[in-house]
A = this chain, B = another copy of it.
């Protein structure tokens, strides 16, 4: 049995590993159009910053180690340009072909339209290297970031760390794309304190290497406009979902039997709303890839979906969200009640600092719907606790009784999550 994987970053390599785990004798090939595989793309902003000396330290496997340790053939600079499923054959840019019995599409996402010449991105190692070079060579000046999603926010931290003045242009009225004005206000005021100028509702109608909407900048970075790469899939008649990404089953199979899709090119299910979502993230890509690979090799694994957990560091401040924002909850016909609380993240005599927690639940059913956490300590742990509760469809009532770890070096006796839960209960009764 031959399994071919198109794309060799997060989803692709996890797919090949998953396939190998369940298909001991399968012939597995990864076709990657770039020159490197298996790198941690989420580390690229920190490479650009200079925190990592060489971006190649983000590489988890080289084609050689992957071949040796997992028995998977990895071909780089191998761009698939045509998918002839009737013949189970792939045509490559260099004129070669590859055949398969099962195919896994891990074609990722790209900036659509591609940025104008000279505009920086953090989308791939080459882009990050260019930005790094620029930060190393030029004196700090004024930079514009186009996009206020989590990549824009991380990019702002990187540029501030290198002493650039920063303006973020976000065409929507909100940051992080959650239609959450209160979250936006809180992140925005932190960014402002860190001398990042956040311009909401301001689309970058025209931008080039040194100019946004006519305003001059020394550096322009595009941190938005990511779209799933679905050309090959569409060409082969594979159905896209409502989000514009490739539609897949729980087993990561596309509308065409025998062809799977995983990672940034595929959509998944939001476990809170039940609706399809497209949230391109490395961690989800890895999970999807693993399941796609296993299923392509004949196992019956499932990827149920996500609850939309995201975290980013905004000029030192941890900002994390999971589940639905109040506006998103309303759009999905819930009746959300929400609270924001501020509480110490641990005892004062253990460097305790205020942390902010937003918790949202449905008035109709009492079900927990989502959360945001902002702070300097324990942010990821608190959002993960909510993520587990969301995945379990927990009620606010049960959540308020969680048996969370307590000792002064780690947390206050009433964890901020429980403080928020008790506040929110009052709005539900």
Contact = CB atoms under 8 A, between A and B. Distances in A.
Interface stretch (A138-146, A230-238, A300-308, A326-334): A300-308
A383 B410 CA distance: 11
B403 A391 contact: yes
A251 interface: no
6 contacts: A46-B408, A283-B414, A378-B378, A391-B398, A391-B402, A392-B394
Interface string A385-429: 111110110100011011111111111011100000000000000
A307 B403 contact: yes
A282 interface: yes
Interface string A40-51: 101100100001
Nearest to A390: B403
A202 interface: no
Interface in A24-81: 40, 42-43, 46, 51-52, 57
The 6 closest A-B pairs by CB, nearest first: A381-B381, A392-B392, A311-B405, A283-B406, A388-B388, A380-B410
Contacts of A403: 271, 283-284, 306-309, 322, 387, 391
Given A382-B381, A384-B381, A387-B402, A312 B407 contact: yes
A387 B378 CA distance: 16
A10 interface: yes
A383 B408 contact: no
A359 interface: no
Interface residues on A, range: 35 or more
Contacts of A392: 388-389, 392, 394, 398
Interface string A292-324: 000000000011101111111100001010100
A406 B304 contact: no
A154 B409 CA distance: 11
Nearest to A154: B407
Given A406-B281, A408-B40, A394 B387 contact: no
A413 B380 contact: no
List the number of copies, as a whole number.
Answer: 2
Contacts of A408: 40, 42-43, 46
Given A307-B403, A379-B405, 20 more contacts: A40-B347, A40-B408, A43-B347, A43-B408, A57-B349, A283-B403, A283-B415, A286-B413, A287-B401, A302-B401, A311-B405, A320-B405, A378-B381, A380-B404, A384-B404, A388-B388, A388-B399, A391-B402, A391-B403, A392-B392
Nearest to A386: B388
Given A52-B349, A304-B398, A398-B304, A387 B413 contact: no
Contacts of A402: 384, 387-388, 391
Contact of A407 (B42, B286, B303): B42
Contacts of A415: 283, 384
Contact of A388 (B282, B304, B389): B389
A378 B377 CA distance: 9
Interface string A222-262: 00000000000000000000000000000000000000000
Contacts of A391: 394, 398, 401-403
Contact of A384 (B306, B385, B401): B385
A304 B409 CA distance: 27
Most buried by B among A150, A381, A382, A415: A381
A222 to B, nearest CB: 20
A349 B46 contact: yes
Contacts of A42: 406-408, 413
Contacts of A46: 347, 349-350, 408
Contacts of A349: 43, 46, 51-52, 57
Contacts of A381: 378, 380-382, 384-385
A52 to B, nearest CB: 5
Most buried by B among A52, A382, A402: A402
